[in-house]
Amino acid sequence: MIIKHINTQPFMDQRPGTSGLRKKVSVFQQSHYLENFIQSIIDIIGGGKGKTWIIGGDGRYFNDEAIKIILRIVCANKFKKVWIGQNGLLSTPAVSHLIRHYYADGGVILSASHNPGGIKGDFGIKYNTSNGSPAPENIVEKIYQRTQEITTYRISDDFSLDLSFLNKHTYEETEIEIVDSVYEYALLMEKIFDFQAIQDLFIIKKFNFVFDAMHAATGPYALDIFEKRIGASSGTVKNFIPQKDFGGIHPDPNPIYARHLVDLMMQDQHPDFAAASDGDGDRNMVIAPSQIIIPSDSIAILAAHAHLIPAYQNGLKGVARSMPTSQALDQVAHFLNIPCYETPTGWKYFGNLLDAGLITLCGEESAGSGSNHIREKDGLWAILFWLNLIAIKREPVNKIVSDHWHKFGRHFYARYDYENLDKNIADKMMNGFAENMHKFINKTIHSRTIIKIDNFSYQDPIDGFIVYHQGFRLILDQGGRIVMRLSGTGTEGATLRIYLEQYIKNYRDYSIQSAYILHELDYISKEILKLTEYTGLRQPTIIT
Ligand code: G1P
Ligand code: ZN
């Protein structure tokens, strides 16, 4: 095998965002682009000699080509071993698990998560460390710095490898093992949950469940777990063949892109429960009859019932949520007398808390929830958790949700996204607000008083690393909260996210709609940002 040292030049745009480096496919297809980024990761971990990695992706367009390039770089850098998912496919949670299972030094996930795929879509690279977690911010920063000074990368000559067969190959010093994408992950789920109870729910109680894999990575996992292992009827899992363009849809399980599933649950003849997950399998959506369970409520309800699940029967050490996520989880933590940590947006901030044993469960408003079983959010885990809970409680899903609100109060919540903004205008608007924000403290706007405003910063309690400017947090009277930040995962222009939250403790009126409860907060956010003035927009592009 010939190893080449290729001269290269830095690309200025390789700063990873909330979740890895995400760009248009065409950007990743530029010569040296992917190579530079992968070599930069290898350089900052002290070179590849003797190292071991897990490699896999969500099967989107460019997955196959990218894996080949990464393998050539890995061999040229003298890695000891890499494990690759069959056909190059691994969900994000499965990569996290395999890193931990094989005690690997880390892993590379090829995915742009829920962003659209296909030749005109997005591609991405996420680097996870030896604990299975997305690289923490201090390592991400080092990788970025390295991309800005890189001058050469190492790559072997091309070799052909059939990724469809489970097999081992050795190239120079590197062993490449192609592993079953599903097997170890499914075993892990079996250890956490009571599959027998879920089977009884499906077969004896004739509970009707539908899962939509959205043509993405979880298809093979869901088929194996729900239909083969648990025994759900054939046809339970929909759209289970991963496609390069996800069937032309956004593989994002939310009321917009999984509209068909929501519509199904709103019909008179509906299943008892429905769920979906995203491109790389780390997000989840759960839907009860006529009711979408919002992610912020979902993680709170799971935390409140965790002691009913085999793996968590001894209780929770603590919980954590990202800052914009509603405070429903805080109520549960208070009741359980355990700590609730508030972290910046992005799963990477949970890793240290999980490793240190400070938390057992964590979640984000963006359809992500997970636990200490791995170091990523995990879509199928959350859905199995719900099924296990329903199987044990033997109550309709809607009742579990309304009982929770009765006990803890309800956090009305919505995220308003303003997409495709001009980046300069969005930055100007946010900077303008930052300069003036102190003027709004103690101001009453639309009959609500703003009590406190800050730009969220966070110091990691374990490694001490501090991050600033993680979003504006406004606390209002009467239990209101508004959070405003720019997205860190987009690949075009800017997206403003405004998160509105209203807590009502003695919640009894089930007919009230969130939009009605939140409309004052919506007005206030638009007014203080001068949103229409800057962007011309009056309404968000998407509400989730
Ligand atoms: C979004 C979500 C965030 C999530 C991330 C990766 O990031 O808001 O919670 O961790 O995707 O799935 P954002 O675009 O807001 O930076
Ligand atoms: Zn994802």
Given a cut of 70, whether residue 510 has pLDDT beyond it is no
Model confidence over 247-285: pLDDT tens digits?
998 999 988 899 999 999 999 999 999 999 999 999 999
Contact 369, 321 (CB under 8 A): no
Ligand 2 centre to CA of 221 (Å) is: 15
Q: Whose CA is nearest to atom 8 of ligand 1?
A: 366
3-state secondary structure of 487: coil
Indicate whether residue 372 lines ligand 1 (CB < 6 A).
Answer: no
Least distant ligand from the CA of 281: 2
pLDDT score at 506: 86
Model confidence over 77-106: pLDDT tens digits?
999 999 999 999 999 999 999 999 999 999
pLDDT score at 321: 98
pLDDT score at 489: 83
Ligand 2 centre to CA of 20 (Å) is: 11
Phi–psi pair at 520, nearest 5 degrees:
-65, -40
Sign of CA dihedral 277, 279, 283, 287: negative
Query: Cα(154)–Cα(74) distance, rounded to whole angstroms?
Result: 9
Region 303-321: mean pLDDT is 98
Percent over 90 (pLDDT), the chain: 94
Mean pLDDT for all residues in the chain: 96
Ligand 1 centre to CA of 268 (Å) is: 34
Q: Whose CA is nearest to atom 4 of ligand 1?
A: 346
Q: Whose CA is nearest to atom 11 of ligand 1?
A: 489
Q: Which numbered atom of ligand 1 lies nearest the CA of 18? A: 16
Burial 160-197 (b: 16+ CB within 10 A, else e): eeebeeeeeeebeebebebbebbebbbebbeebbbbeb
Reported in sequence order, the residue ranges of 14-144 that DSSP labels E, i.e. its strands, are 21-24, 52-57, 81-89, 106-110, 122-129
Indicate whether residue 346 lines ligand 1 (CB < 6 A).
Answer: yes
Model confidence over 372-408: pLDDT tens digits?
999 999 999 999 999 999 999 999 999 999 999 999 9
Indicate whether residue 419 lines ligand 1 (CB < 6 A).
Answer: no
Ligand 2 centre to CA of 129 (Å) is: 17
Given a cut of 70, whether residue 191 has pLDDT beyond it is yes
Element (H, E) at 362: strand 361-364
pTM: 0.96
Among 364, 419, 467, which residue has the most ligand 1 atoms within 8 Å of its CB, making it the best to mutate? 364
pLDDT score at 312: 98
Indicate whether residue 113 lines ligand 1 (CB < 6 A).
Answer: yes
Query: DSSP H helical segments within 480-513, as ranges?
Result: none
Which are the contacts of 145, defined by CB distance < 8 A and separation ≥ 6?
A: none
Q: Which numbered atom of ligand 1 lies nearest the CA of 278? A: 12
Indicate whether residue 92 lines ligand 1 (CB < 6 A).
Answer: no
Indicate whether residue 364 lines ligand 1 (CB < 6 A).
Answer: yes
3-state secondary structure of 84: strand
Q: Which numbered atom of ligand 1 lies nearest the CA of 282? A: 12
Region 454-465: mean pLDDT is 95
Ligand 1 centre to CA of 488 (Å) is: 7
Model confidence over 132-177: pLDDT tens digits?
999 988 999 999 999 999 999 999 999 889 999 999 999 999 999 9
Indicate whether residue 366 lines ligand 1 (CB < 6 A).
Answer: yes
pLDDT score at 98: 98
Query: Cα 255 to the chain's mean position, in Å?
Result: 16
Instruction: Give the number of other CB atoms < 10 A from CB of residue 65.
Output: 16
Reported in sequence order, the residue ranges of 199-257 that DSSP labels E, i.e. its strands, are 209-212, 237-238
Question: Which residues are the active-site residues?
Answer: 113
Query: Cα(484)–Cα(493) distance, rounded to whole angstroms?
Result: 17
Q: Whose CA is nearest to atom 15 of ligand 1?
A: 487
Indicate whether residue 322 lines ligand 1 (CB < 6 A).
Answer: yes
Query: Cα(12)–Cα(35) distance, rounded to whole angstroms?
Result: 14
Indicate whether residue 343 lines ligand 1 (CB < 6 A).
Answer: no
